[in-house]
Structure 1
Amino acid sequence: MPESPVWLIDASIYVFRPWFIRQPPVLDTEGNPVNAVLGFLRFVYNLLQNEQPVEIGFAFDTSLQTSVRKNIYPAYKANRVPAPENLKYQFAQCRAFLDALGIVQTASVHHEADDVIGTWVTQQHARGKACQIISGDKDLAQLVGSHDHWWDYGKRTALTDGGVKREFGVWPAQLADQLAIAGDTADNIPGIPGIGMATAAKLLHKFHNIDNLLSRIPEIGLMKTAGAKRLQRLVEEHRATVLLARQLTGIYCEVPDIPHDLRRGIKDPVRLQALCELLGLTEQQFALWMAI
């Protein structure tokens, strides 16, 4: 690992994972379910205990309806079910707990957590710092530079830029193009029908990026690959879809009004103890959080 990297956390996935686990509900002292909060806090504690980051930021998502991508393509993530109120409550408690720990957490009204992390990556690279991008979302692998890692923490090994290439068949800088060609069902992003990630990788291996691909479409039919003429026809027919999708798959790296200083701050013991009591944590657990 690079020395003293900056840790950038795509927080929402680590709240959703315990939320989706089928288990008896755990209630806080006010009767609200907090299974997702407790699962998220286990993830946070393990990360802080094992990695001891000096600089760390957590990016959350807010309303999808105000996302700039939704303005570009109204069907963007239309397959997602809106979060119920008790999950919104748990997200709020997760963010409050991070605040009490003196850890930077933020969200943007118009940009997604991916874009917040992309902005942080750009800022940290300008400082000459390496980044640990913690997420289970492959989209964020497009941000990985030569000294960074993309890591679904606790689930798999960390990937360098070369690891991303081995995993997805393209370099990080090509991943947004690959997703635009193949589409992304998880985000309801259209692609070229009949072209998957592997074939998109083959196209990018030859043409390097979407601009080259779309300006040299006749050359697709000359490729030494099965169904080359069919590929040429598909790309020609779905040129507009690819260009639309590329507006959605790329990460925006200039989100305004987010914290720049990601150094861990001073804990708020009064607020932290109140949150521990609300969540039903013991005095011993409170002491562990204070000591970490």
Structure 2
Amino acid sequence: MNTTPKPTLHLVDASLYVFRAWHSMPDAFHDADGWPTNAVHGFARFLLDLLERERPQHIAIAFDEALDGCFRNALYPAYKANRDPAPPELRRQFAWCKALCRALGLTTLAHPAYEADDLIGSAAARARQAGFRCVIVSADKDLSQLLDGHDEQYDFARGERWSADGVRARHGVHAHQMADYLALTGDAVDNIPGIQGIGPRTAARLLAHFGSLDGLLARLDELPQLRLRGAAQLAQRLHAQRAQALLWRQLTTIALDAPLPEGLFVRERGDPDELQALADWVGLGPLTRRRLAQTAGLTLQG
């Protein structure tokens, strides 16, 4: 038996951590033009903590650029329509966070038609074909559907890690059932309605019995016989909403074929000039500058 550990690719859901920094950091930092930079400061600290703790050799940072033009919006125009657009003060900071990653020698992933989840999923699929395991740095339950074999999901803020086997303990379904699970329960965060009357427990029971959404829809005649409250009405509802259920699954399924840069995202040496200019512009403090320089193998002034 081959016991050689697999190489690891870290895939970071950047938007989650930029938003967290935007909401948690005080509005006390500004760039040379007077725009706020609190999210950049918070994201820089997160990124440094991650790099110092994990010391990844292969890493990619995925950003959301498909704010209202994602392929899912073409399928369902109301997708994520419940979200307010990011204010200009935050949009500017996303650009700075992306620039920070590049200055540190980290690959960034972004595409106008695909979400960060799709970029992470596509990178994970490529990595597995090359014999890698993946560590997905995000607390987003949607990404749990990507876990397989030796992969892990890492909720960095809570310091919690789980594998594909751990998904069932958290949600009551297997990792490969997560898209079906979310199609049935809906996802309020993404404005996906789901099927009325199906909550997490009912969805988990249905998938445990039928195996998948396809299995459930193919065997709806069995549903009224299950020891489940309102099973007959639920069967009627699913029969009437078959097309919607399949649409919801299209929305909750992460794409594995998004366009990506070539290679397996080897961590490169940072760019001292870019890092120095960025640190000066957004007003990073001396401690953060020292950590950035040490992490990137560079020397910065200030």
TM-score by shorter chain over 0.5: yes
Following TM superposition, by how much is the alpha carbon of 1:186 offset from its aligned partner in structure 2, in angstroms?
Answer: 0.6
- SS of corresponding position for 2:135: strand
CA displacement at 1:241 relative to structure 2: 1.2
Identity of aligned residues (%): 42
Change over 3 Å in CA distance of 1:288–1:23 after alignment to 2 = closer
Quick check: 2:11–2:134 contact (8 Å CA) kept in 1?
yes
- Which string of whole-angstrom CA distances, capped at 9 and with x for unpartnered residues, describes residues 8-33 of structure 1? 00110000012123733321232110
- C-alpha separation in 1, matches of 2:242 and 2:67: 27
Conserved 8 A contact 1:106-1:259: no
Is residue 2:219 matched to residue 1:216?
A: yes
**CA separation in 1, counterparts of 2:216 and 2:268?**
48
Are residues 1:36 and 2:29 paired?
A: no
TM (normalized to structure 1)? 0.96
Unpaired runs of at least 5, structure 2: 296-302
Partner of residue 184 from structure 2, selected from 160, 178, 181: 181
TM-score (norm 2): 0.93
Q: Aligned partners of 1:69 and 1:40: how far apart in 2?
A: 28
In the alignment, what sits opposite 2:97? 94
Mapping for residues 98-177 of structure 1, pairs under 5 Å = 98-177=101-180
Q: CA RMSD in A?
A: 1.4
1:16 to 16, 19, 34: 19
Of 224, 241, 244, 2:244 maps to 241
Query: Do the aligned residues in 2 keep the contact of 1:4 with 1:53 (CA within 8 Å)?
Result: no
Aligned match of 1:194:
197
The letter of the residue matching 2:154 is W
In 2: Cα distance, 1:264 partner to 1:257 partner: 16
2:61 corresponding residue in structure 1: 58
Count matched residues: 291
Distance 1:160 1:170, change over 3 A: same
Taking the aligned partners of 2:277 and 2:27, their CA distance within structure 1 comes to 24
Q: Distance in 1 between matches of 2:154 and 2:260?
A: 26
Structure 1 residue runs of 5 or longer lacking an equivalent are none
String of CA shifts for 1:154-201, please: whole Å, max 9, x gaps.
224111111111101111110000111111111001211111122111
* 1:227–1:156 CA distance, 2 compared to 1 (3 A): farther
